[in-house]
Chains A and B, each alone.
Chain A
Amino acid sequence: MAYPTTNSASRKRHVPRLKFRDERIFYYLALGPTTIVIAFVIALPIIYTFALGFFVQNTLIRTWRFAGLSNYSDLLTDADFWIAFWNGVVFTVGSTAVATVVGLAIAILLDCNFRGRGPLRALVIFPYIVPSIVVAFIWKFIFSGRGILNDFLSFIGAQAVSVPWLGDQRFAMMAVILISAWTWFPFAAITLLAAIQNVPDNIYEAAALDGAGPVRRFFHLTLPLLAPALMVVVLIRAIWAFRNYDMIWLLTKGGPIGATEVLPIMAFKEAFGLFRMGHASAVSVYLMVFVTLLAAIHFRVGARLRQAYDTS
């Protein structure tokens, strides 16, 4: 950093960078407490969970037995584990896709000129910040057997489909996906709106002059230009959907008959329903491995995008 300095002290020492006198004290004071907290509430618990996976442990009768890899290996042949895994994949793909598509449509809408656009942009965030238990209650009410959704369906003449959506094995997953997408679309909408606003208008004007209609402009301009932002939204959303616990638990508790049971719920039931902590730890370690894989992809893609866009 070539900065003209009149400070004789720093010139004498020939330090390439400017330095405050008490750098060290500040550095340790500022970073120390955070490091300690992170070590105690994040690093140690993760290590503990890993270790606990090697034990057969029951907190109710307080028995401990070293079991080697059996918790981890048993799960790989456990049908319930793989059902929960695939349920998680379906939930993740479904809720991410719905939230992203709806979010994209809303981002495009919010980019148009109309009166009241500012307040509406803020209002869109609201479903995202309401406590998940409130969201779950409202939609349970709407989706219940004698709820407003079934009233609406019979009103438009679809009287045959009058089911308790969340309590029906065939529809529970779909309902859970839609409800989760409802709380998560604001994230996609606001992030994609920011990306759309970064696209220079003159590209569209040029395309319009060349005779490209709105549909072609969307597929040949908007989508490719938004691809990086879309990628980030999808990955972050997918990570959060796959590790999500409370929304599904509050809506269906993993039921009916395991139709919406995902890995976090399986781990929770093992730990606090059956009190098999070792088993639960192994499930959550696998969950963490899957989430870490997604996170690694996210970091990779993020780094590559940053490179590609910084150099251009």
Chain B
Amino acid sequence: MTRVPHPVQKQALRRNRQKIPVLKSISVYGGVFLLLLLVLFPFYWMVTASIKNFREISIERTLIPREVSFQNYTDLFEQTSILWHLFNTAWISCFVTVVTVTLASMSAYVLTRFLTPAAEWIARISLYAYMVPSIVLIIPFYIGLQMAGLVNTHAGLILSYLSFTLPLGIWMMRACFQTIPKTMEEAAVVDGANRFEAFFLIAMPQALPGVISTSIFVFILCWGEYLYPVVLISSDSLRTITITLDALTGGGQNIKFGLLMAASTVATVPILLIFLALQKHLVRGFASGGYE
């Protein structure tokens, strides 16, 4: 939350800023340097390792790659159908995001506008549902989807994803609708609008920022989901990106870190793009309860 300082305060702030002693600014910039190192170094190490050759990765361990080689990437694209898996992940994540946001915004709107016992219960259940360990749900999913013939299908995977995206979506959208005043909708009733018009034409446009942050969080969660696909998906052609990465470790002792880092880089790029394009919404989503 950014507060707008009063003009007088602003002057005081400016004065304060001039008075910042050198010692403090040195420690601040030192802290900033450490923070950058903490956040960025692991990614730097990932990207550089992905373009190093084997000697540089495991024997010489150079900080800056001496020669650039794309061998890891060519190996990756030859050994796995990672592009296809990226496509799988993207469409599943998009689909789940659309379904989640549609259901969540409608029901969250109801939860803030109709204070019926049923609505209260759904609010409570969805918050609790978000804390239920996914390991509790995976066993019934596995058995139930097997009975329904949906194990090893994207449909089954999408259903299982809804178990964690929907509670999060409801929770975030509820926080969003709570901040939107009801007065405009009340005025609309007076003008003879119905509830559908009030929802779609008045409430939803105001909730757009919330819709965007909710979508980003749901998409990111789906993109990185590991447990459900690893249990529910067995065919190579249906894999999501996390399973592609998981399969690369192979269980053997000789982990090919170059290959792993190349695959990790490929899996991170879409998240990086989303981050660069929509970081403002991400920060706001965090503040409005968009925790994991």
Q: Which of these, A35, A125, A131, A287, contacts B282 with CB under 8 Å?
A: A125
Is A312 located at the chain interface by the 8 A CB criterion? no
B261→A20 contact, CB < 8 A: no
Specify which chain A residues have a CB less than 8 angstroms from the CB of B245 in the assembled complex.
131, 133-134, 137
A138→B131 contact, CB < 8 A: no
B126→A38 contact, CB < 8 A: yes
Q: Nearest Cβ in chain B — how far from A222, in angstroms?
A: 16
Q: Which of these, B137, B193, B275, contacts A20 with CB under 8 Å?
A: B193
Q: Which of these, B28, B116, B220, B231, contacts A114 with CB under 8 Å?
A: B28
Is A82 located at the chain interface by the 8 A CB criterion? no
Is A56 located at the chain interface by the 8 A CB criterion? no
Q: Nearest Cβ in chain B — how far from A36, in angstroms?
A: 10
Q: How far is the CA of A131 from the CA of B43 in the complex (A)?
A: 13
A59→B143 contact, CB < 8 A: yes
> Which residue in chain A gives the minimum CB-CB distance to B49?
A141
Q: Please indicate which of the listed interface residues A21, A25, A31, A120 has the most CB atoms of chain B within 10 Å of its own CB.
A: A31
Interface size in chain A (residues, C-beta < 8 A): 98
Q: Nearest Cβ in chain B — how far from A207, in angstroms?
A: 14
B190→A285 contact, CB < 8 A: no
Given contacts A41-B166, A126-B39, contact A267 B135 (CB under 8 A): yes
Specify which chain A residues have a CB less than 8 angstroms from the CB of B103 in the assembled complex.
33-34, 37
Specify which chain B residues have a CB less than 8 angstroms from the CB of A144 in the assembled complex.
255, 257
B257→A109 contact, CB < 8 A: no
Given contacts A38-B126, A124-B39, contact A20 B195 (CB under 8 A): yes
Q: Which of these, B43, B106, B261, contacts A34 with CB under 8 Å?
A: B106
Q: How far is the CA of A40 from the CA of B160 in the complex (A)?
A: 10
Q: Which of these, A21, A59, A245, contacts B227 with CB under 8 Å?
A: A245
Contacts beyond the supplied A134-B264, A267-B139: 6 A-B pairs with Cβ under 8 Å: A27-B114, A34-B122, A46-B137, A52-B140, A122-B283, A124-B39
**Can you list 26 residue pairs at the A/B interface with Cβ under 8 Å?**
A6-B190, A18-B190, A26-B195, A34-B166, A37-B103, A41-B137, A42-B137, A44-B144, A45-B137, A46-B136, A48-B139, A59-B143, A122-B279, A126-B39, A129-B220, A129-B282, A130-B271, A137-B261, A138-B261, A187-B286, A194-B1, A243-B131, A267-B139, A277-B139, A280-B139, A287-B136
Residues of A participating in the B interface, judged by any CB pair closer than 8 Å = 1, 3, 5-7, 18-23, 25-27, 29-31, 33-35, 37-38, 40-46, 48-49, 52, 59, 105-106, 109, 112-114, 116, 120-135, 137-142, 144, 146, 148, 151, 182, 186-187, 190-191, 194, 197-198, 201, 236, 239-240, 243, 245-246, 250, 264, 267-268, 271-272, 277, 280-281, 284-285, 287-288, 291-292, 294-295
Leading 8 A-B pairs by shortest Cβ distance: A131-B224, A45-B140, A243-B133, A30-B106, A34-B107, A20-B195, A48-B140, A41-B163
